[in-house]
Amino acid sequence: GQNIDQPTEMTATEGAIVQINCTYQTSGFNGLFWYQQHAGEAPTFLSYNVLDGLEEKGRFSSFLSRSKGYSYLLLKELQMKDSASYLCAVRAEKRNYGQNFVFGPGTRLSVLP
Amino acid sequence: DTGVSQDPRHKITKRGQNVTFRCDPISEHNRLYWYRQTLGQGPEFLTYFQNEAQLEKSRLLSDRFSAERPKGSFSTLEIQRTEQGDSAMYLCASSLARAGLYEQYFGPGTRLTVT
């Protein structure tokens, strides 16, 4: 089976740093994505990791450990507009060019003043 | 190109009716995906096309669901004999199949309510 786990909710203060964890068990792992989704809107892409290590992109960084089936998204200098759900998704490559993306349930982050 | 578009944005239908949704991907994108999302959950993969070929179909996609992408451009998702459990947001996403590029761009979604 395929399973992705994330904390359901997190709260942090404006200006702080927050780390959102994601653990996964999938077949044919071929990359991990983080998406941001504001309430009532479509997900928007934040980051992509396929090799172990840290990818930094402005205030957002994402880390991957394939051996541990673990990733985290790090958000620095939090702003009120960062209040949203953060979705972890794994791309599972299958034979015959099949693939699918398995999304986690999302972590709802609330940034407080 | 302004991104992925979906039509309609909202659909209310009675149980047992058929509904069809349309997705127009970003023009140069050859991969198109359909997802279903319910409140508080992440998107659930339904199916994906590369050009006009439907290459993967989730077990979630029962016989009542069918998707097409006849010319490798826009796609339609049809739900026959709708049930209340079909109420959800239906998201379409597209991507360009090129080495190292896997980012999916999502449309605004079609919110289906079955009464």
Higher pLDDT, A91 or B110: B110
| Lowest-pLDDT choice from A25-34, B4-13, B83-92 | A25-34
Per-position DSSP letters for A10-50, written without gaps between them: EEEETT--EEEEEEEE-SSEEEEEEEEE-TTS--EEEEEE-
Write down the pLDDT at residue A99: 61
Write down the pLDDT at residue A96: 45
The Cα A71–Cα A65 span in angstroms is 6
Give SS3 for A82.
helix
> Which candidate in A99, A102, A107, A108 is best for mutational testing of the B interface (most B CBs within 10 A)?
A99
A97: chain B residues, CB-CB within 8 Å: 50, 55
Name, in order, each residue with C-beta under 8 angstroms of B79's C-beta and a sequence gap of 6 or more. Answer: B18, B19, B20, B64, B65, B86, B112
Name, in order, each residue with C-beta under 8 angstroms of A81's C-beta and a sequence gap of 6 or more. Answer: none
Q: Do B43 and A103 touch (CB under 8 A)?
A: yes
Write down the pLDDT at residue B100: 62
Q: Do A48 and B106 touch (CB under 8 A)?
A: no
* Nearest residue of chain B to residue A93 (CA atoms): B56
Structural Rg of chain A based on CA atoms: 14
